[in-house]
Amino acid sequence: MLEGKNINKTYQSGDIETTVLKNINFKINTGEFVAIMGPSGSGKSTLMNIIGCLDTPTSGQYLIDNQDVSTFSDDELAELRTKKIGFVFQAFNLLPRATVLRNVTLPLIYADIEKEEREAKAKKALTDSAFPEKFWLHHSNQLSGGMMQRVAIARALVNNPALILADEPTGNLDTKTGQMVLETFQKLHTEQGRTIVLITHERYIAEFAQRIIHIRDGEIIKDEKMNVKNNNFIVLK
């Protein structure tokens, strides 16, 4: 589904050229749950932006479903994001005075979907993200951090995207609440076959995925496969 071929990313500031990604190669298959893990400054955020079609490589190719999107125009990238990618961010990015249901329907409003269909899709997405129905009409600023993140997950699901891209989704949550959110991602993967790419700098968070791509100093240094046994992840490779 997703493939990077010899991706390089360089930023120019005056006479100074900074290379952030160096010869990145990866494949992520449909239905995989993959974590991209690295310390601050490792290049993981830049790689996330390329995977999410928020940025393009300086050189190399990035393919989604065998389409080379590296050469897409800004409008083509925006359309691809709308149709194929659901984003979950650390800061939730919800409208504070809007209800949970309205927050989730927003992407469908922009897509000109009729109200009845919008609400049906939003309710399904909230159910899939394990968000309690009794809070659907609450405003998002009345919710806990963990509940807000599950609303954000529902919003990411509402267009039925091929890829869910989660950027440090537990960064603003305590450990217990963060684990609940990560378990929601696991269920979306195991029960619905969702393709999920999770960006993190924490090992224990990355271990919720079935595979960890390690990045350091702009290079992939290790691709680690995981397995689940009695709800504990063990390293296979």
pLDDT for position 71? 87
**How much is the pLDDT for 230?**
35
pLDDT at site 133: 94
- Split at pLDDT 50, 70, 90, the class of 228 is low
pLDDT in tens, 22-73: 999 999 999 999 999 999 999 999 999 999 999 999 999 999 999 999 889 9
Q: What is the pLDDT of residue 235?
A: 41
Q: How far apart are CA 75 and CA 173, in angstroms?
A: 34
SS3 per-residue string spanning 126-195: HHHCCCCHHHCCCEHHHCCHHHHHHHHHHHHHCCCCCEEEEECCCCCCCHHHHHHHHHHHHHHHHHHCCE
CB-side exposure of 78: number of CA atoms within 13 Å? 6
What's the rounded Cα separation, in Å, for the pair 197 and 51? 9
Does pLDDT of 132 surpass 50? yes
The reported pLDDT for the residue numbered 130 is 87
Interval 178-202: pLDDT, tens? 998 999 999 899 998 999 999 999 9
Q: Phi then psi for 218, rounded to 5 degrees? A: 80, 10
With cut-offs at 50, 70 and 90, classify the pLDDT of residue 231.
very low
Report pLDDT for 118: 92
pLDDT digit string, tens, across residues 66-120: 999 988 999 999 889 988 999 998 888 899 999 999 999 998 887 788 999 999 9
| pLDDT for 2 | 95
pLDDT at 112: 80
> What CATH number belongs to 27-45+73-235?
3.40.50.300
pLDDT at 229 exceeding the cut of 50: no
pLDDT band at residue 236, thresholds of 50, 70 and 90?
Answer: very low
Q: What is the mean pLDDT of residues 154-173?
A: 91
> pLDDT confidence of 233, banded at 50, 70, 90?
very low
83-111: b (≥16 Cβ within 10 Å) or e: ebbbbbbbebebeeeebbbbbbbbbbeee
> Residue 36 CB: number of other CB atoms within 10 A?
28
| pLDDT for residue 70 | 86
